Amino acid sequence: MGRRIDEPSRVRAVARYALAIILVTLALLISLALQHSFGNPFWFFFSVAVILSTWFGRTGPGWLSVVCSTLAVMYYFTPPVGSFAVTPSDLPYFVTFVSCEVGVAQLISWRRHTEDALRQARNELEVRVAERTVELKKANQALLKQMDEQRCTEETLQATRAELARAARITAIGELTASIAHEVNQPLAAVVANADACVAWLAREHPDLAEARAAAERATQGATRASDVIARIRSLITKAAPEKSRVQINRVMEQIAALAEGQAARNNVAIELELSPDSPIVLGDSIQLQQVILNLVMNGIDAMTSVTDQPRILTLRSESQDSRYIRVVVQDSGIGLTEEVKGRLFEPFFTTRSKGMGMGLSISRSIIEAHGGRLWAESNGSGGATFQLTLPSEDKMAA
Amino acid sequence: MKEQEPIVFVIDDDRMIRDGLQSLIRSVGLQVETFASAQDFLEAKRPDTPACLVLDVRMPGPSGLDLQLKLRDDGIPVPIIFITGHGDIPMSVRAMKEGAHEFLTKPVRGQDLLDAVQKALASDRTLRQQRKEASEIRGRFDSLTPREKEVLDLVVAGLLNKQIADQLGMSELTVKTHRAHVMEKTQAESLAHLVRMSEKLKNASRK
């Protein structure tokens, strides 16, 4: 393994030394060729050879070129020419030459070293940066994935929670219904038994009027008891009349538009608010009215989630009607209402959604009616549905 | 022996229903006694006549189903007509399994209830008759000696005198004597009659 890595580097080393010899030889040939026309320019070409050898071949070849140059100069240029001897008179000149060569080689070698170290440092740095970048990218991806998972979990959790709450509500309603059913059924059973008894006493060969009358009276009592039970339940549900205060309907609608904004944006729905300029006032329970209008707005947004071929616009409008009534209109461009749906819309427990109890509109209508108003629905000509409610204005209530 | 006047017991915690049912049942000439709870019924002295129970399932205190089990455990076999406001299936299955005569839901149609009452009374009358016969037969059978009972069992099982003698290790003549005593004591008119009585007794004790 070590050898395989060594092989190319050895070839490269040999090439570097060869380069030094070639360069020195070239310098020698040029110097020899130019010797007669320009005097003795050898120091210049040999210096260039040493510089190039040291720069490209590194330290070893550099020193080789210095030695070769010195030998070449000794042999070819210093008298006596053709031998390696140097005459004493040429010695200072020769020593200066060799010193220059050595100095140049030293300097270039040092520069080269610095340059190499710098390059290596830079390369290492680049590699490290690349590694860090990859690591960061991985970490980032992991983080994104984690966030995705968390969001998924949260959504599931929320859905489960909503489902649970709905189940609890339905269970509570189921229990309530069972208990109401029993409470009502009991007196009804008494009514039926006594009415049957009454008929039976009358159907005898000799009708027993006293018994029949007693049975009929008990039947009446049973019926009264049944209606008492119903009245009690009704008073339980409707509680007291709504808390009446002066309510600026425009402000309520602005609040609702703000409340519903998030839901609308998520579903790509634009809410258009058209408020009556005379800021009408109704007497009513602002929380209840808010609930009703918000319910209508949310229904409208829901109705548009499957619409893709036209803009999803929810219009929320208030207007005064002949100073006696105020009308609030919630209009959507959704799927609209079929005749069947329209007929049953306000029935309790009627819903077109899989999640939903079907109580919203039924409760909304009873709230508006408790305010002395009306709530109804129409299909738009252009698709979608319009829910309208009227509320008596303050003047009318005062009158 | 003259049939005694049958009686219908109505047990319901709701006075108005109780009175209505009582009036309804009386209108067809039946005798009715009402109770507000299962406890009241158990404490009351009940005449020994054909009877049936009209019983509300849901009552404060012991429920109708509790009363049914209590009567069965005490060996008081009276047909029960259950009335319930919410006749769920498991409950009615349970009641019917325990031998309820009928299971009606509130509000009950008068005619349905009267039909059920008549059927229940007829059934009780038959059962009482059977029980009475069985107890008479039992009285007669109880007067047999152990040896005669052994012979009786084998006779009823269809064995010949010779076989019985072999099995019990006695002479054929002795078997004949025992057999004559059995026929006399049980007032059996024939072998077939003896077998029938023995069957009735077995059925009664099984119930």
Tell me what pLDDT residue A172 has.
67
Q: CA-to-CA distance for A192 and A185, rounded, in angstroms?
A: 10
List the single residue in A182, A190, A198 with the smallest CB-CB distance to B17. A190
Residue A204 in contact with partner chain B when CB distance is under 8 A: yes
Give B111 or A287, the one with higher predicted confidence: B111
* Probe site for chain A from B19, B57, B59, B111 (most A CB atoms < 10 A): B19
Q: Mean pLDDT throughout A331-350?
A: 81
Q: Which of A347, A378, A366 is nearest to A292 (CA)?
A: A366
Residue B24 in contact with partner chain A when CB distance is under 8 A: yes
Give B55 or B206, the one with higher predicted confidence: B55
Q: Encode pLDDT of A348-373 as tens digits.
A: 777 777 666 677 888 888 888 888 88
At A368, list the tokens. Answer: 């508006």
A23 and A122 share one domain: yes
Give A189 or A81, the one with higher predicted confidence: A189
Per the structure, the complete domain to which residue A6 belongs is given by 2-131
Tell me what pLDDT residue A2 has.
44
Q: Nearest-CA residue of chain A relative to B14?
A: A186
Tell me what pLDDT residue A221 has.
92
A228 and A285 share one domain: no
Give B154 or A82, the one with higher predicted confidence: B154
Could you give the C-alpha distances from B9 to A353, B51, B117, B120, in angstroms and in order? Answer: 52, 7, 10, 12
A279 and A225 share one domain: no
Residue A213 in contact with partner chain B when CB distance is under 8 A: no
Residue A27 in contact with partner chain B when CB distance is under 8 A: no
Q: Is residue A149 part of a domain?
A: no
A84 and A174 share one domain: no
Counting one residue from A and one from B, how many pairs have CB atoms under 8 Å apart? 88
Number of domains composing chain A: 3
Q: Is residue A337 part of a domain?
A: yes
A292 and A234 share one domain: no
A249 and A393 share one domain: yes
Q: What domains appear along chain B, each with residue ranges and CATH number?
A: 7-128 (3.40.50.2300), 143-206 (1.10.10.10)
Q: Which of A85-89, B91-95, B153-157 has the highest mean pLDDT?
A: B153-157
Q: Is residue A147 part of a domain?
A: no
Q: Mark yes or no for CB contact B14/A186 under 8 Å.
A: yes
Could you give the C-alpha distances from A134 to A120, A122, A145, B141, B171, in angstroms and in order? Answer: 21, 18, 16, 104, 113
Give A389 or B62, the one with higher predicted confidence: A389
Q: Is residue A142 part of a domain?
A: no
Q: Is residue A308 part of a domain?
A: yes
A214 and A251 share one domain: no
Q: Is residue A100 part of a domain?
A: yes
Last residue of a domain, one of A192, A219, A238: A238
Q: Is residue A221 part of a domain?
A: yes
Q: Encode pLDDT of A132-141 as tens digits.
A: 999 999 999 9
Q: Nearest-CA residue of chain A relative to B113?
A: A193
- Shortest distance between the Cα of A209 and any Cα of chain B, in A, equals 11
End-to-end CA distance of chain B: 25
Tell me what pLDDT residue B1 has.
41
Q: CA-to-CA distance for B162 and B159, rounded, in angstroms?
A: 8
A381 and A287 share one domain: yes
Could you give the C-alpha distances from B138 to A165, A273, B77, in angstroms and in order? Answer: 67, 95, 19
A386 and A259 share one domain: yes
- Shortest distance between the Cα of A181 and any Cα of chain B, in A, equals 9
A35 and A175 share one domain: no
* CB contact at 8 A, A137 and A91: no
Last residue of a domain, one of A238, A259, A289: A238
Q: Nearest-CA residue of chain A relative to B105?
A: A189
Residue A191 in contact with partner chain B when CB distance is under 8 A: yes
Last residue of a domain, one of A238, A268, A293: A238
Could you tell me what percent of chain A has a pLDDT over 70? 91
Tell me what pLDDT residue B174 has.
87
Q: Mean pLDDT throughout B95-115?
A: 86
Identify any residues that bridge with A314 across adjacent strands, giving them in sequence order. A271, A332
Alpha helices by DSSP H, chain A: 2-38, 42-57, 59-72, 91-203, 209-238, 249-266, 286-303, 339-344, 360-370, 394-398
Q: Is residue A137 part of a domain?
A: no
A251 and A227 share one domain: no
Residues in B touching A190 (Cβ below 8 Å): 14, 16-17, 20
Q: Nearest-CA residue of chain B relative to A201?
A: B27
Tell me what pLDDT residue B138 has.
85
In this structure, what CATH number is given to the domain that contains residue A394?
Answer: 3.30.565.10
* CB contact at 8 A, A98 and A67: no
Q: Nearest-CA residue of chain A relative to B27?
A: A201
Q: Encode pLDDT of A182-194 as tens digits.
A: 788 889 999 999 9
A275 and A392 share one domain: yes
